[in-house]
Structure 1
């Protein structure tokens, strides 16, 4: 994920150099003056899990995570705190699917060794955005913040667990996210692509009812770790 962030940073520097070489007619010259403005966003995500293990009776626990591309959609409310600092609330929905493969479980029965984890989240991030001064119709920025995520597909209250084929996670989760991006001032709106890393602060695993469990007992921490491609229209 860091490699992707560095690559995106390099591209921003190249674009910055290109745009700053010559003066242009400013699009939307008063866009950043109002105290509030609004917008919406679309995006893609590639979420997996960070997994840490604890001592257990199971030797060499190993859970592989296969993630697929999901989507994000939401709204933007932006409060200007300073010429270069904005506070943003970006409520939205996020959907993705992950497959967990419990390699330490012997045998070839995929119904026992594999769990497909589909998730739809209500994503409620509060983000600080730190921008450079505007360079013609171009403005790079970095951002960071925290979010509350409610997982509608968690199965947390399901009485069945992995022994019945049901993987369970917590419904309420907290994340932090960091990222970089650039504002492009177009003729009629501002377009802002960014790439963001998202990381869970809490353990999202709901442990099985009975112990020892070959699925959940070896796991000390299981938390979302992912990358968002975020396209804002304001």
Structure 2
């Protein structure tokens, strides 16, 4: 799914770049748009999350790894953009992100033991620095990076039940770093921006079971989210 997202995004970028760079049309849309100190907008998009898991004891002779499968989720949110100069912008992009991941634990025979569904609804707030190239006709490529924090509305961090009662617990608050790229496309009435970002958690999200020898969490030293966001922005 993540590879499909990446290919689709590249196709959108390539089509936009080809249309602008090789078209005979040279009329500039929204010529003064980037001179504004503050601009606003909204975004819609898709996400694909999984987990990076580190183990206390990695035994290559035994099947000890947790298998993770992810499903495509969706994003929606707002954008506030502050102009620093003609090539730098500071962006705040608060949004609501929904995603689902399934964890399959080895050495169990019954589904109630080996399967854990992780449904997450994040309030995700990134602070990003956008570095743009010179505008080329009606497009302007850019790189973006920054830090972010999320609050998981579906978290069960304070649940007294753990995996022995069928509850896999994760923390409510998580911090990340993000890197990505995109293209601003200046249309007649608004600016449209497809972008893709990689998101990587910096904090451990695992809430371990009460039993330190738990067959679910006993061998996990850290569990961190990572994901891909594809957003389509309208300003």
Q: Identify whether the pair has TM-score above 0.5, normalized to the shorter chain.
A: yes
Mapped contact 1:143–1:180 kept (Cα < 8 A): yes
Cα distance change, pair 135–56 in 1 and its aligned pair in 2 (3 A): closer
Mapped contact 1:123–1:150 kept (Cα < 8 A): yes
Matched residue SS, 1:224: strand
2:73 to 70, 89, 92: 70
Cα distance between partner residues in 2 of 1:62 and 1:192: 39
Deviations 1:160-207 (A, max 9, x none): 000000010011100111111101111111000001111111111110
Cα distance between partner residues in 2 of 1:17 and 1:188: 21
Matched residue SS, 2:206: coil
Deviations 1:131-179 (A, max 9, x none): 1111111111110111001111120000000000001001110011111
TM normalised by structure 1 equals 0.92
Cα distance change, pair 141–94 in 1 and its aligned pair in 2 (3 A): same
Cα distance between partner residues in 2 of 1:205 and 1:50: 11
Q: Does 1:102 align with 2:67?
A: no
Cα distance between partner residues in 2 of 1:81 and 1:9: 28
Unaligned runs of 5+ in 2: none
Cα distance change, pair 86–2 in 1 and its aligned pair in 2 (3 A): farther
Unaligned runs of 5+ in 1: none
Cα distance change, pair 158–110 in 1 and its aligned pair in 2 (3 A): same
Q: Which is worse superposed, 143-152 or 9-18? A: 9-18
Cα distance between partner residues in 1 of 2:42 and 2:8: 25
The Cα shift of 1:225 comes to 1.2
Matched residue SS, 1:112: helix
Aligned length, in residue pairs:
232
Matched residue SS, 2:77: strand
The Cα shift of 1:23 comes to 5.2
Cα distance between partner residues in 2 of 1:200 and 1:128: 18
Deviations 1:203-223 (A, max 9, x none): 111101112100011111211
The Cα shift of 1:20 comes to 2.6
Mapped contact 2:13–2:194 kept (Cα < 8 A): no
